[in-house]
Structure 1
Amino acid sequence: MMKSRPSFILPFLQSWICLLLAESPSNCFIRDDKAYCALRNLYEVPVLPPNITYLDLTLNYISEIHEKSFYGLEKLQILVIQQQEVTLVLRNNAFSGLSNLIKLDLAYNTNLRVDPGAFNGLFNLQILNLTECKLYDSILSGDYLRPLVSLEQLSLPGNNIRKIRPAPFFVNMNKLHIVDVSHNWINSFCEEDLVHFQGKHFTLLKLRDIKMSDMNPYWGSWNKCGNPFKNMSMTVLDLSLNGFSVNMAVLFFRAIRGTKIHNLILEQSGSMGKGVWYNNFKDPDRDTFMDLSESDIKALDLSKASIFALENSVFGYMSDLEELLLAGNSINLIEKDAFYGLDNLRTLNLSHNLLDKIYSGTFKNLPSLETLDLSNNNIRMLMSQSFHGLSNLVHLSLSENSLQYVHTLAHLPRLKKLRLDDNRITSLHGLPSKARNVTTIDLRHNKLSNAESFYTVLVEFPQIEKIYLGGNRFSWCFLNSHYSVSPLNNVRFLDLHMTGLQTLWQQGKCLHMFDHLHQLQTLLLQQNSIHSLPKDIFKGLTSLSALDLSVNSLTYISNDVFPKSLSTLKLAHNHLGSVDPRAFSTLTELDLSANRFLCDCSLRDLQTWLSQKRVKMLTAAEELTCEYPEQQRGKSLLQAALCKDKNY
């Protein structure tokens, strides 16, 4: 009787087989149950282990997928065959053995050829991507997709589809909720075209840039077109980049009247307003959106639509609106009561427009507004009681405007985040009394020249947690009032980069600015030309965990300069010549990159400490090099001979 072979041989044999497969001519990279075979010059589907569930075959030379192409890969769940370098043909039953497949990505296969039964057997497929395959109307109107009874998401952007006419079997695709036919040339679509989509709720129906060129104000078929979205509803309907004019919009909204839409996107409808120069176009008025009154729209995106003026009650029929995006228009005029009827609006984005003044009544009729973005306009003046009536405003952004003062704000009792960065503000006079409950204030890159502004924010905003003052060049530190900083303050983040602190500290000014910041966790002090750190400058920072001193002129770091709580320290781009590594004893992360090290005996302790790798270096210690003396320049700090006296 033959003796049985030891059982331990089998695992070794299996491992050897897998290794052979992994190193097969395909050179696919295999990790666990995933095979990455992109860019491998493959002409057919390679032989792979049977446990593979993910396969990427992108950018190869596979010209045909047939019934036996995936033999032995029945466990596949995700299959990506994007952009073959030759015309790809999908034969009948090409995927018939892949009953576990849930995602099939065939995008960017130019001139993809599909046999009528190519998708047979894919009854569990949920996601199909056919982006830019030069497919025609028949991909929707024919029987190609009939087997996909579990389909949830269908992507067809960038094809040659001229008509959206889904076949009758789409009625039974009960799980289908995302359809994207963007970037096709669809002159029109009517009720009879989309009849087999009726009864569906789409979480996303994306009709971006489909031209709709016939559906202009002079189209003779408006009356017989019906409602293209009859008996449908949408979470998001994207109709952006379709050249809607006001007159076209009125007719289209009349056609879809009553359709329930949560979020309507009309972004980059470049003819929706008259812009700055085109007086032959109209801006929207109250009647433009009248037929959307029954659609229960909660969010409307009219960004980049060339709107010049917001007319009286322009959104008066859209009382359900909670979010209104008007960024990137040419809005220079907001008429009185422009926002009449928007009692439920919570978010309003007017960034990147041409506003130059804000009046007390500009945002009248917005009692529920919580977020207002006015960044990137040309606002020079906030007239008396600006933002009056916005008692629930939480976030206000006035970034990148031309403001010089802000004391004319109305009282904003619930404001928490205030962005005033990149303006021309010279004084904070009167601001704290208008927004006393702010927790985050951003004043970066203004014209504040007195470091008193730091104390003003710290003391007069009792709820403040994050302070951004970087980019204000403080020339002096003269306190016009007696500021008593509460040790119970909540400041956790402080940005003072590029504020000229070296000049103040050299004058013996503002040396106690950090004394009571016991909760501070992050402090940014980069680009301050700091030559040395004043004694006890950080003594009050008992909770500090991150300190950035990059891009300064520090030459010496002493042992006891940093708080014991410090864990992350950035000292990049300094001139360190003498460092006591005991100063780094609490750190877990350290950045010493781009220092111009003076490699002499003063750095020997640092060299030893770095070689012991006691901390995570944000730039590898091996990359640190000497700058001085001349004979050491370019040498690795770790390898440099720092002392001539070997007994040092």
Structure 2
Amino acid sequence: MGDRLVLLLSLLMSSSALGMTSCFFDGQRALYRACNLTQVPQVPSTTKSLLLSFNYIRTVTAVSFPFLEQLQLLELGTQLTALSIDKEAFRNLPNLRILDLGKSQIDFLHPDAFQGLPRLSELRLFFCGLSGAVLKDGYFRNLASLTRLDLSKNQIQSLDLHPSFRELNSLKVIDLSLNQIPLVCEQGLEPLQGKTLSFLKLADNNLYSRVSVDWGKCMNPFRNMALETLDVSGNGWTADITRNFSQAINGSQVLSLVLTHHIMGSGFGFYNIKDPDRHTFAGLGGSSVIQLDLSHGFIFSLNFRLFETLKELKVLNLAYNKINKIAGEAFHGLDNLQILNMSYNLLGELYNSNFDGLPKVAYIDLQKNHIGIIQDQTFRFLKQLSTLDLRDNALKTINFIPSIPTLFLGGNKLVTLPKVRLTASFIHLSENRLENMDNLYFLLQVPHLQILILNQNRFSFCNQRYAPSENLSLEQLFLGENMLQLAWEAGFCWDVFKGLSHLRVLYLNNNYLNFLPPGVFRHLTALRGLSLRSNRLTVLYPGDLPAHLEILDISSNQLLSPDPDLFTSLSVVDLSHNKFICDCELGTFIHWLNRTNVTIFGSREDIYCMYPSSLAGNSLDSVSMEGCNEEEVLEPLKFSLFLLFTVTLTLFFVTVLAVTKLRGSCFICYKKIQRLVFKDPSLGREPDSYKYDAYLCFSGKDFEWVQEALLKNLDAQYSDQNRFNLCFEERDFVPGENRISNIQDAVWSSRKIVCLVSRHFLRDGWCLEAFSYAQSRCLADLNGALIVVVVGSLPQYQLMKHQSIRGFVQKQQYLRWPEDLQDVGWFLNKLSQHILKKDKEKKKDTDIQLQSVTAIS
């Protein structure tokens, strides 16, 4: 029921976001989701799709639907009440193709419920609470066009098919995952013999794993069947269960076997469950397996000749295991394997013999391991290898690299590149530690190289041991997130792009560039796309950009007043998030921006003024250039005003900064001067009838903080320099006496009650009780004896949760302990003034409210 409510809420929210009702008809589609329907609505005969999920329909009978000859899709799933489906309930829908009853709790399903549906090709019955009777009692008779049958997430406990399944000649897909099927034997699936299924899913059933299987009686469940894909993942299979199963189905054609989320293997540091051996998959030799998925398991060691019988295997997925060891001849026998995925494992070293027996392998994925060492000849004899993925490992050298077209080496620890012979057309080396641009010159000499990715390295200096060479193949070069500025500002490597006459795309984003070397792009005659995003460029000069450039990203720089002539040859440009100075000098650019045919990428709101401050944040579209013709006359005056304004503003900001940063010291000086010039008011204070100046009410868990922050600075018994006689529980309450009496005495014997409201205070019942007594006294005396100090980052709604405190904060103001330490002295002075303040008799409540005190951040 919880899942249904979540789905209903998400549907309602999405409908509201779109600004449309969820109940409508548009000529061919009738959408009645979440419309509180209790029965099937009447719809026009032209309806092709009828969507009725998230309603309260209880019963579907033969008369529920009018004759809808054109209806092809009926969605009755996710009803919010139990559903009953009567005999021939859908007989008036002769051309129905898809019937969706998923996630509806079906309390009654007549054996003839689906009769009269000759064109039905897909039947969705997932998560309907159905038992095995739906399979063995002939519910799917006469569904000659049925192609897909989804019975996942039900309560089927046995697989015993009705003989009518022999008639389902169109059936290709059966999903029985997430049921409770412990055993599948030959007799149960006999009606499917002689058929070819494109997909049979038996995953997550604890199949064969929690029962004792007599394979002599159970025999081959898929005898005389051809399965394109068989999914038995998530059943908790060990190596022994897998061995017995593969032997049982020997001879049955299974082109793709999915065995993910298994428990084969000892894992890292455990030995209680053994790794698969050469016998585990031996029975699959006669099943023509082309794809085998063993990912998401605990295999630690690939043992000797583990897959030797799988002569036809082309794709092997071993990702997300714990593989740390590859035994000799582990892949022997995989003569036709083309794709090997061993990513996300625990490999640390690779040796020359690890991949022996893979004469046709073309793609090896080893990313996300811990590989730090690879012997030189590891990949040399894999003659068909074309792609090697070693991303996110710990490699420090690439001496082992074979001559292959595609190399993924990103996310390693490469500091420099050795002089190895590379012939790749695609090289990925991002997220390494390359610093010397000599490595870039070396890579640009690789013959036939088309794409080079070097993002997120550290290119920052250049010895220029290599001369730039002609590269007629490189088309895309990614150099983003490096530090080319450091090399170029030293005057080196300005010719790095010389010879790249066929380069079409160049990324130089995030390189801290504050200038472009003169003529650095001169030789890039074929360049069409250039990214200079997120640099520090303030100006572009004529000739900086290639003549035939079409796309330019120069966003997030510091351009002040760009020359529009630089962009006239472009078709797309991104100028957002620069620092445009919106004065008359920018008028030419604004005029071009409003009339250009060049596509301005992104929102115009992101092209805004940065200076002057009066226009900061304003879109250039809203800036007027009227009156700019008089600027020459006003230039001297403007300069003088600018100097005056700058000096004044500087002095003002220096003063404000000094007061802000040193306000605590300023306050101390002020108090010293006050004591010298004026008599200390505390010395001449007249005694009154109260025993204490103030009662400090706080949680015992805050005592240490209260002692350091308040008592040592205010209480006379802590220091002779303090002026107040304070009362607090830990010292002044009478031991053994009733706590309520102590609180009452403290409240009525003190001139003021100071409540230190913290998170601990709000959880302390005695503190809240004391707060109530303090409020009672205020009401009785008609004065402002209660002072509330909020301590810590307590939001307003936390205070409003408590009725007594809510009433106070809604009508009166309270103090808040300052966050900055230098404001503590000032705050204590303010608090002392409130404690010393005497309330005038017969004054209104509004006259005795405390002034709000806001902590200076």
Higher relative contact order (CA 8 A, sep 6+): 1
Report whether the alignment pairs 1:289 with 2:281: yes
Task: Provide the residue aligned with 2:121 in structure 1.
Answer: 126
Counterparts of 2:201 and 2:338, CA distance in 1: 25
Aligned to 1:124, what secondary structure does the other structure show? coil
Report whether the alignment pairs 1:443 with 2:429: yes
Q: CA deviation at 1:215?
A: 5.4
Task: Provide the residue aligned with 2:482 in structure 1.
Answer: 499
For residues 498-538 of structure 1, the C-alpha deviation after alignment (integer angstroms, 9 at most, x for no partner) is 11122222222222222322222222111111223333322
For residues 424-459 of structure 1, the C-alpha deviation after alignment (integer angstroms, 9 at most, x for no partner) is 01122133x1xx331000000111111112221111
Task: Provide the residue aligned with 1:82 in structure 2.
Answer: 77
For residues 271-322 of structure 1, the C-alpha deviation after alignment (integer angstroms, 9 at most, x for no partner) is 2111113212111111111111111111111112200001111111112111
Higher helix share: 2
Q: CA deviation at 1:255?
A: 1.6
Counterparts of 1:452 and 1:366, CA distance in 2: 36
Counterparts of 1:77 and 1:242, CA distance in 2: 36
Cα 1:162/1:425, change in 2 over 3 Å? same
Cα 1:359/1:76, change in 2 over 3 Å? same
Counterparts of 1:152 and 1:571, CA distance in 2: 54
Task: Provide the residue aligned with 2:456 in structure 1.
Answer: 471
Task: Provide the residue aligned with 1:547 in structure 2.
Answer: 530
Q: CA deviation at 1:41?
A: 4.5
* Structure 1: unaligned runs, 5 residues or longer: 1-22
Task: Provide the residue aligned with 2:193 in structure 1.
Answer: 198
Q: CA deviation at 1:545?
A: 2.5
Q: CA deviation at 1:597?
A: 3.6
Equivalent residue in structure 2 for 1:146, among 141, 145, 158:
141
Aligned to 1:237, what secondary structure does the other structure show? strand
Equivalent residue in structure 1 for 2:257, among 264, 267, 285:
264
Report whether the alignment pairs 1:402 with 2:394: yes
Higher deviation after alignment, 596-605 or 119-128: 596-605
**CA contact under 8 A between 2:441 and 2:467: conserved in structure 1?**
no
Q: How does 1:275-424 map to 2 (within 5 A)?
A: 275-409=267-401, 412-413=402-403, 415-424=404-413
Q: CA deviation at 1:36?
A: 4.2
Task: Provide the residue aligned with 2:754 in structure 1.
Answer: none
Residues paired across the two proteins, number? 613
**CA contact under 8 A between 2:306 and 2:330: conserved in structure 1?**
yes
Counterparts of 2:501 and 2:395, CA distance in 1: 33
Q: CA deviation at 1:192?
A: 1.3
Task: Provide the residue aligned with 1:239 in structure 2.
Answer: 232
Task: Provide the residue aligned with 1:429 in structure 2.
Answer: 418
**CA contact under 8 A between 1:600 and 1:643: conserved in structure 2?**
no
**CA contact under 8 A between 1:380 and 1:404: conserved in structure 2?**
yes
Task: Provide the residue aligned with 1:6 in structure 2.
Answer: none
Higher deviation after alignment, 369-378 or 141-150: 141-150
Q: CA deviation at 1:153?
A: 0.9
For residues 576-615 of structure 1, the C-alpha deviation after alignment (integer angstroms, 9 at most, x for no partner) is 3222233333434333333344333343333333334634
Q: CA deviation at 1:406?
A: 0.9
For residues 232-271 of structure 1, the C-alpha deviation after alignment (integer angstroms, 9 at most, x for no partner) is 11111111111110111111112212111111111110x2
Q: What amino acid maps onto 1:254 in structure 2?
A: Q
Q: What amino acid maps onto 1:159 in structure 2?
A: N
TM-score calculated relative to the size of structure 1 = 0.89
Report whether the alignment pairs 1:52 with 2:35: no
For residues 144-163 of structure 1, the C-alpha deviation after alignment (integer angstroms, 9 at most, x for no partner) is 22232101111121111111
Q: Cα RMSD over matched residues? A: 2.4
Counterparts of 2:20 and 2:525, CA distance in 1: 59
Counterparts of 1:38 and 1:548, CA distance in 2: 47
For residues 57-92 of structure 1, the C-alpha deviation after alignment (integer angstroms, 9 at most, x for no partner) is 333444444444443642122333332333333333
**CA contact under 8 A between 1:156 and 1:182: conserved in structure 2?**
yes
Q: What amino acid maps onto 1:441 in structure 2?
A: I
For residues 405-429 of structure 1, the C-alpha deviation after alignment (integer angstroms, 9 at most, x for no partner) is 01134xx34x110000000011221
Aligned to 2:229, what secondary structure does the other structure show? strand
Task: Provide the residue aligned with 1:10 in structure 2.
Answer: none
Equivalent residue in structure 2 for 1:250, among 221, 225, 243:
243
Report whether the alignment pairs 1:168 with 2:153: no
Q: What amino acid maps onto 1:28 in structure 2?
A: F
**CA contact under 8 A between 1:365 and 1:389: conserved in structure 2?**
no
Task: Provide the residue aligned with 2:622 in structure 1.
Answer: 639
Counterparts of 2:579 and 2:53, CA distance in 1: 47
Q: What amino acid maps onto 2:410 in structure 1?
A: D
Counterparts of 1:357 and 1:417, CA distance in 2: 21
Task: Provide the residue aligned with 1:11 in structure 2.
Answer: none
Q: CA deviation at 1:470?
A: 0.8
Aligned to 1:372, what secondary structure does the other structure show? strand
Cα 1:451/1:69, change in 2 over 3 Å? farther
**CA contact under 8 A between 1:67 and 1:96: conserved in structure 2?**
yes
Q: CA deviation at 1:118?
A: 2.6
Q: CA deviation at 1:44?
A: 4.5
Aligned to 1:28, what secondary structure does the other structure show? strand
For residues 368-402 of structure 1, the C-alpha deviation after alignment (integer angstroms, 9 at most, x for no partner) is 11001111110111123222321110000110000
Q: CA deviation at 1:462?
A: 0.5
Counterparts of 2:153 and 2:542, CA distance in 1: 63
Counterparts of 1:539 and 1:526, CA distance in 2: 19
Counterparts of 1:558 and 1:85, CA distance in 2: 68
Cα 1:74/1:627, change in 2 over 3 Å? farther
Equivalent residue in structure 2 for 1:189, among 184, 188, 207:
184
Q: CA deviation at 1:108?
A: 2.1
TM-score calculated relative to the size of structure 2 = 0.68
Q: What amino acid maps onto 1:171 in structure 2?
A: R
Structure of higher CA gyration radius: 2
Equivalent residue in structure 2 for 1:458, among 419, 424, 444:
444
* Structure 2: unaligned runs, 5 residues or longer: 1-18, 632-857
Equivalent residue in structure 2 for 1:519, among 489, 493, 502:
502
Aligned to 1:236, what secondary structure does the other structure show? strand
Cα 1:35/1:644, change in 2 over 3 Å? farther
Cα 1:103/1:616, change in 2 over 3 Å? farther
Task: Provide the residue aligned with 1:573 in structure 2.
Answer: 556
Task: Provide the residue aligned with 1:18 in structure 2.
Answer: none
Q: What amino acid maps onto 1:182 in structure 2?
A: S
For residues 305-357 of structure 1, the C-alpha deviation after alignment (integer angstroms, 9 at most, x for no partner) is 20000111111111211111111111111011111111111111111111111
Counterparts of 2:107 and 2:465, CA distance in 1: 75
**CA contact under 8 A between 2:369 and 2:393: conserved in structure 1?**
yes
Counterparts of 1:346 and 1:178, CA distance in 2: 27
Counterparts of 1:404 and 1:24, CA distance in 2: 58
Counterparts of 2:80 and 2:530, CA distance in 1: 51
**CA contact under 8 A between 2:61 and 2:87: conserved in structure 1?**
yes
